[in-house]
Amino acid sequence: MPDRLTEGLIDLLRPLLAVLLGLAVGAVAIWATGHPVGEAYAALWNGAFGNRTFLGSTLARSSTIALAGLGVAVAFRAGALNLGGEGQLALGGLAAALFTIYVPLPGPLPLVAGLLAGAAGGALWALLPAWLEVRFRVQLLISSLLLNYVAVYSASYLVSVPFRDLSGGGALAQTRLIPEAARIALLPGTRMHAGILITLALSLVLWFVMMRTVTGYEWRMTGLNPDFARYGGVDRVRALVTAMLVSGAVAGLGGAIEVMAVYHRYIDGNLTRPGFAWSGLMAALLADNHPLGVLLAAFLLGVIQVGSTGMERTTQIPLEISSVVQAVIVLFVSVRIGADLLRRFRGRRAARG
């Protein structure tokens, strides 16, 4: 039994060590700018947790990162290297905005319809690279990556020309406001919104799907060893397509919630500039694609990102330091420092016994 505990500890140790190393690199960068490191990190902590508003922003951002990350985690678990989160997120947001604006529905339906439209938008866009892989053997990694640019430019065009809001002079490339009924409630005085509940619920649901359903089992086995899955009667194409659909739907939902709770309209660039999709990817890598781990990792990244905004306000250290720290963390996780060597050593011993 102690082995199980050790296994679990090793799983936790790796990202933890990486985070510490990432913060250490951040400290060097802060030191290089001439600011006292302790003060800067205190400002970061304060920026993320200092008051209700800050905490709300942190949670709101973490929520969207988590959705993007959950999408990545599902795809990666199934062995599909979906790098198209950015496009899936943006098109999900756009679909939610356009659907709620142009399809009037009674009662609370716009809320549901908006979320569904967002999920559908992301899912359909994710289907495209899956289809290209199955039908034309185009590597999903590259096609999904390139499709980001296609999606982002297309969305930008749509809100700049045909669906542009011309009411206020049309200075900005954005859609009209979505109807009141389609807006997700905010906690007063903060940016914390009810969408966070959806994120929490969804990560539990996805954990359940991955660990407790046949579909999830087939995804995981396909990801771990496609030959083993095939030998056991798993349909590879089905596993790939369903994983990509769910992956895209979750990312699309992230875009939809961001639109419906925070901006109440699709504003060109607002879903891409904060780098939600890439932060989500990092969260998934950090959590080794575990749905509940993604929540934690997304929260960590949210803290770093929102906190660094606060740090910039009080110390003038550029907030981009957060991107540096995050990327360094993921790099350290990718080399599986220390912990993995330990596991490999233990594995070898076990193989010998």
Partner 1 sequence: MADLFDIQLLHMTLRTVVPVLLAALGGALCERAGLFNVALEGMMLAGAFGAVVGSFFLGGAGWGVLAAIAAATAIGLILAVLSLNLRANEIVVGISLNLLVVGLTTFLMRVVLGATGTFHHPDLQGLPQWSPEWLQAVPVLGRLLSGHTPVVWAAYLAVPILTYFLFQTTIGLRLRAVGEHARAAQTLAVNPLRMQYLAVVLAGVLTGLAGAQLSLGQVRIFQENMTAGRGFIALVAVIFGRAHPTGVLLASLLFGLIDALGIRLQGVGLPSQVTGLLPFVVTLLTLVALRGRGLNRQGTA
Partner 2 sequence: MSRAPAIAATGLVKVYPGGVVANDGVSLRVEPGSIHAVVGENGAGKTTLMNLLYGMEQPTAGEIRIHGEPVAFRSPHDAIARGVGMVHQHFMLFPSLTVAENIVLGREPHRFGRLDRREAAARVADLAERHRLPIDPLARVGDLPVGLQQRVEILKTLYRGAEIIILDEPTAVLTPQESDELLAVMRHLADQGKTILFISHKLAEVLAVSDRITVLRGGRVVGERERAETDMDELATLMVGRLPAPPATFRREPGAPALRVERLWVRGPRGEPAVQGVTFTVRRGEIVGIAGVAGNGQSELIGALTGLVPAAEGRILLDGQDITRLSVRERRAAGMAHIPEDRYRWGSAREASVADTAAMGPHYRPPLSRRGLIDRSAWLRRAAAIVAEYRVRTPGLWARAGALSGGNLQKLVVGRELAGDAHCLIVAEPSRGVDLAAAAFIHDQLLARRERGDAILLVSADLGELMALSDRILVMYEGRIVGEVARDQADERQIGLWMAGADLPAGDPPGDPASAQQGGDAGA
Which residues of the shown chain bind partner 2 in the complex (CB under 8 A)?
A: 1, 3-4, 7, 211-215, 217-218, 220-221, 224-225, 227-235, 346-348, 350-353
- Whether the CB-CB separation of 134 and 240 falls below 8 Å is answered with yes
DSSP 8-class letter at 182: G
Return the number of the residue (235 or 320) whose C-beta is nearest partner 2. 235
Return the number of the residue (53 or 225) whose C-beta is nearest partner 2. 225
Residue 253: CB minimum distance to partner 2, A = 22
Q: Cβ–Cβ contacts within 10 Å for residue 105, how many?
A: 16
Q: How far is CA 130 from CA 141, 143, 234, 246, 308, in A?
A: 10, 9, 17, 12, 37
- Whether the CB-CB separation of 76 and 289 falls below 8 Å is answered with yes
DSSP 8-class letter at 117: H
- Dist CA 90 CA 269 (whole Å): 9
Which option in partner 1, partner 2, none does residue 320 bind, with CB closer than 5 to 8 A by kind? partner 1
3-state SS assignment for residue 193: strand
Residue 351: CB minimum distance to partner 2, A = 6
281 lies in the binding site for partner 1 (CB under 8 A): yes
Residue 231: CB minimum distance to partner 2, A = 4
Return the number of the residue (109 or 205) whose C-beta is nearest partner 2. 205
Return the number of the residue (98 or 221) whose C-beta is nearest partner 2. 221
Name which of residues 57 to 86 contact partner 1 (CB under 8 A): 76, 79, 81, 83
Residue 117: CB minimum distance to partner 2, A = 26
Residue 238: CB minimum distance to partner 1, A = 19
- Dist CA 38 CA 189 (whole Å): 30
Return the number of the residue (160 or 215) whose C-beta is nearest partner 2. 215
Which option in partner 1, partner 2, none does residue 217 bind, with CB closer than 5 to 8 A by kind? partner 2
Which option in partner 1, partner 2, none does residue 278 bind, with CB closer than 5 to 8 A by kind? partner 1
Which option in partner 1, partner 2, none does residue 212 bind, with CB closer than 5 to 8 A by kind? partner 2
Which option in partner 1, partner 2, none does residue 220 bind, with CB closer than 5 to 8 A by kind? partner 2
- Dist CA 161 CA 315 (whole Å): 41
Span near partner 1 by CB under 8 A; candidates 40-48, 60-68, 135-143, 237-245: 135-143
136 lies in the binding site for partner 1 (CB under 8 A): yes
Direct distance between the N- and C-terminal alpha carbons of the chain, in angstroms, rounded to an integer = 17
Quick one: which of 335, 345, 347, 348 contacts partner 1 (CB under 8 A)? 335
DSSP string, 249-263: HHHHHHHHHIIIIII
DSSP string, 277-322: HHHHHHHHHHTTT-HHHHHHHHHHHHHHHHHHHHHHHHH---TTHH
State the Cα angle at 127 between 125 and 132, rounded to 5°. Answer: 110
DSSP string, 6-75: HHHHHHHHHHHHHHHHHHHHHHHHHHHTT--HHHHHHHHHHHHHSSHHHHHHHHHHHHHHHHHHHHHHHH
Name which of residues 301 to 330 contact partner 1 (CB under 8 A): 318, 320-324, 326-328, 330
- Dist CA 314 CA 32 (whole Å): 17
- Dist CA 206 CA 209 (whole Å): 5
Return the number of the residue (240 or 311) whose C-beta is nearest partner 2. 240
Binding residues for partner 1, per CB under 8 A? 29, 32-33, 76, 79, 81, 83, 132, 136-139, 141-143, 145-147, 149-150, 153-154, 156-157, 160-161, 223, 275, 278, 281-282, 285, 289, 318, 320-324, 326-328, 330-331, 334-336
